[in-house]
Amino acid sequence: MAEIGIGIVGGGYMGKAHAVAMSAVGAVFDTARRPRLEMICATSPESAERYRAAYGFARATDDWQVLVNDPGVEAVVIASPQETHRAIADAAFALGKPVFCEKPLGASLDDSRAMVAAADAAGVANMTGFNYIRTPASQYARQLVADGVIGDVTWFRGEHTEDFLANPQTPASWRTDGDANGTMGDLAPHMINAALALLGPIERLISEVETVHATRPGGTVTNDDHGQMMCRFAGGAMGQMYFSRISTGRKMGYAYEATGTKGAIRFDQEDQNALWLYRAEGAEATRGFTKILTGPAHPDYEPFCQGPGHGTGYQDQIIIEARDFLRAIETGQPVWPTFKDGMEVNRVIAAAMASSKDKTWKEISDF
């Protein structure tokens, strides 16, 4: 098996998750390519060295250009703030290096378009990080919809709700500055990606986006706290979505339901190892939603655990992403979600922001 040198830009929340995933993925999935933790980049020499020692990298730097240009770094994982994504990806693609970029793909739709163009020109593996859709339960939900188990989908409801800024006395920070760090830039991409994965393209939408707590200790809030939209999918289904970072009591409210002509499904990330399925069949007295506990019969579960109902966790989603990224590198074939898929999410967000401003329906094709 061949080694591949991995460089990760960013050592915090997601940087650590990707470092752990790259360390574990070979053992979990017996991948043909085995990651070697070559270099990590952080904002200062001290933090970079701290992350290097903690995660097991060979080297550290506080300059992403050093990381990207290093010959020992053969693939780049971008886990840094959105405004840095485009420059890092462009530099890596110029050297023919595969890139995995955390969502959202860049700080704007223009950024993501440029990143897709750079990826296409380079002709190398590229992926956007949407980890939640990779739970065994959500992968199975995609299969159920695609196989027509619940019939033609007529309605979809999705939310990504958390409460980390529900308290108005929580101080202002980088999270409260700039559109890319607001709820529509931070949380909404995950659920929009889920909606596209389950039902396909969105044709048009109308939305409202709002800042509830305009000031916080230490500064003014320049981005949005929550947003809602109604939409129509190209396949004909109606949809509703809500996104919030001030949803009191919600910790990981990535939840969706889809209603079809033959049944329905429900999922909530706070109970990520269960999927609820309703089938419109059999005697009325025995009908009802069935709770399906994930196990080895469901996608990407068995490599982690052979026991049904024992469950997978957040880190496992990132390990599955790492496997897919390595597979794209190994085979030369695109693995969903590519940069183009990340750009499609950004198109929906751009339309939603414009709709909220103009207070009217928007066609996605216009963006």
State the distance between the two ends of the chain, measured CA to CA, in whole angstroms. Answer: 44
- Domain 133-309+345-358 superfamily per CATH: Dihydrodipicolinate Reductase; domain 2 (3.30.360.10)
Is the Cα dihedral 139, 140, 146, 151 positive or negative?
negative
User: Is the link from the previous residue into 189 a cis peptide, with omega within 30 of 0?
Assistant: no
In a 3-state reduction of DSSP, which class is residue 331? Answer: helix
pLDDT value at residue 150? 98
- With a pLDDT cut of 70, the percent of the chain lying above it is 100
pLDDT reported for residue 8: 98
Question: Tell me: the pLDDT tens digits for 239-293?
Answer: 999 999 999 999 999 999 999 999 999 999 999 999 999 999 999 999 999 999 9
The pTM of the full predicted model, rounded to 2 decimals, is 0.96
Q: pLDDT tens, 114-167?
A: 999 999 999 999 999 999 999 999 999 999 999 999 999 999 999 999 999 999
Q: In the prediction, which pLDDT does 332 show?
A: 95
In the predicted structure, residue 202 carries a pLDDT above the cut 80: yes
Calpha distance 338→365 (Å, rounded): 19
**pLDDT tens digit string along 309-337?**
999 999 999 999 999 999 999 999 999 99
Query: How far apart (Å, rounded) are the C-alpha atoms in residues 293 and 301?
Result: 11
What average pLDDT does range 25-37 have in this prediction? 97
Is residue 335 within 8 A of residue 320, CB to CB? The reply is no
Q: Is 29 left (phi over 0), alpha (psi -120 to 50) or beta?
A: alpha
Domain at 2-132: CATH code? 3.40.50.720
Ranges in the chain annotated CATH 3.30.360.10: 133-309+345-358
Contact 136, 312 (CB under 8 A): yes
Please check the confidence at residue 359 and state whether its pLDDT lies above 80: yes
The arithmetic mean of pLDDT across residues 98-112, rounded, is 96
DSSP symbol at 297: T
Helix (H) or strand (E) holding 337: none
Judged against a pLDDT cut of 70, whether residue 203 lies above it is answered with yes
Q: What is the pLDDT of residue 231?
A: 98
Distance CA 338, CA 125 (A): 8
* In the predicted structure, residue 1 carries a pLDDT above the cut 70: no
Model pLDDT, residue 357: 98
Confidence of residue 306 (pLDDT cuts 50, 70, 90): very high
**The pLDDT of residue 281:** 95
Q: pLDDT, tens digit, for every residue of 9-20?
A: 999 999 999 999
Q: What's the pLDDT tens digit per position in 56-97?
A: 999 999 999 999 999 999 999 999 999 999 999 999 999 999
In the chain, residues under CATH classification 3.40.50.720 are 2-132
pLDDT band at 190 (very low <50, low <70, confident <90, very high): very high
